[in-house]
Amino acid sequence: MSDPLLSHFHEQRLDTEKQNDLEDNNPVTDNTVGLPPVTYMANVIASQLLERGRVMFGRRSDANCILKVGERKYYVHVQMLAARSPTFRRIFDDMIANDAWGRLSNSDGSSEDYLGELDPSSDDMEACDDARAYKQWRVDHCDIEDMNVKLHRLGLRDSLLFNEDDDKGEHGDTSEDSDDTDGCLPELSVDFRDPEGSHFEELLRWIYTGEDERWLRFFTPENYRSILENILRLNMVSKQVLDICLAYEAHTSPDQKVRGVAVDLLSSHSHMDLDEADLM
């Protein structure tokens, strides 16, 4: 017999797909009306990147940052995380402003123009490479109230123009970078609540793929509050996230005392008007 919680999300996904088919010819949908310009742009980018999220997740060959959470390191793509999370947008904005990827990451000109001016053997190119290596960034606290940061056009050595041969994510990646050099990528350390118990890797996977059903399988009464706090940490409170949380609560025994936790916790830290009756 199928899990009623997953069946609920399967039916919800089918309804969403039907609605999307009806709105394909509309340049602006209800999902974007009223959103600030930066948020709107992030949503547009994220919707395009999610189509490739499964093959991008965990892929080292074109990752442009190392995310360290607890004892785990993840090879991540700045474009994806910045598009999906205002917190990551702000962090990467600071890193770019401080040349975490070298002069390219904070240049007024395009990366192609700058690279065209450099001789591969020049001192400038060596300095650029040195700036990428050894840079380590640690974020101990983010002001959730101060997240309205513009998206930068990143002048990195990678691009989002993939060849079909590159579509190998997670275990299929064939990068030859050693663990010692990590491809000379900047490393970002961020603290999250109970990353092991809350299965942070699955939250990260969801950021890449938007696969609600998979993420839900890792929700438990024991880790639920940690998951919610990590959602807040990333400033990712949205109707989609709330639908996931409320569906979990509705299909969990009242004895577990998780019902109402999402609305209580997320509404107290969010600018959204979270009316549980409207979300169900």
Which has the closest alpha carbon to 151: 34, 35, 36, 38?
38
Chosen domain end from 166, 191, 216: 191
Does residue 256 sit in the same domain as residue 155?
no
Any domain includes 122 = yes
Residue 202: how many other CB atoms lie within 10 Å? 17
Any domain includes 11 = no
Does residue 210 sit in the same domain as residue 185?
no
The first and second tokens of residue 133, run together, are 């290596």
pLDDT tier, 104 (very low <50, low <70, confident <90, very high otherwise)? low
What pLDDT, on a 0 to 100 scale, did the predictor assign at position 245? 95
Percent of the chain with pLDDT over 90: 38
Does residue 183 sit in the same domain as residue 241?
no
Does residue 45 sit in the same domain as residue 178?
yes
pLDDT at 146 > cutoff 60:
no
Any domain includes 42 = yes
What pLDDT, on a 0 to 100 scale, did the predictor assign at position 120? 44
Does residue 57 sit in the same domain as residue 100?
yes
Any domain includes 74 = yes
Any domain includes 260 = yes
pLDDT digits (tens, 9 = 90+) for 30-49: 455 554 555 556 667 777 88
Does residue 75 sit in the same domain as residue 171?
yes
Any domain includes 78 = yes
What integer is the mean pLDDT of 124-140? 44
B/e letters for 77-113, b = 16+ CB within 10 Å, e = fewer, are: bbbbbbbbbbbbbbbbbebbeebbbbebbbeeeebee
What pLDDT, on a 0 to 100 scale, did the predictor assign at position 14? 58
Does residue 187 sit in the same domain as residue 250?
no
Query: What domain range includes position 118?
Result: 36-191
**Confidence (pTM):** 0.65
Chosen domain end from 191, 219, 244: 191
Count how many domains the chain has: 2
Does residue 181 sit in the same domain as residue 212?
no
Does residue 165 sit in the same domain as residue 43?
yes
Any domain includes 233 = yes
pLDDT tier, 126 (very low <50, low <70, confident <90, very high otherwise)? very low
The pLDDT mean for the chain works out to: 70
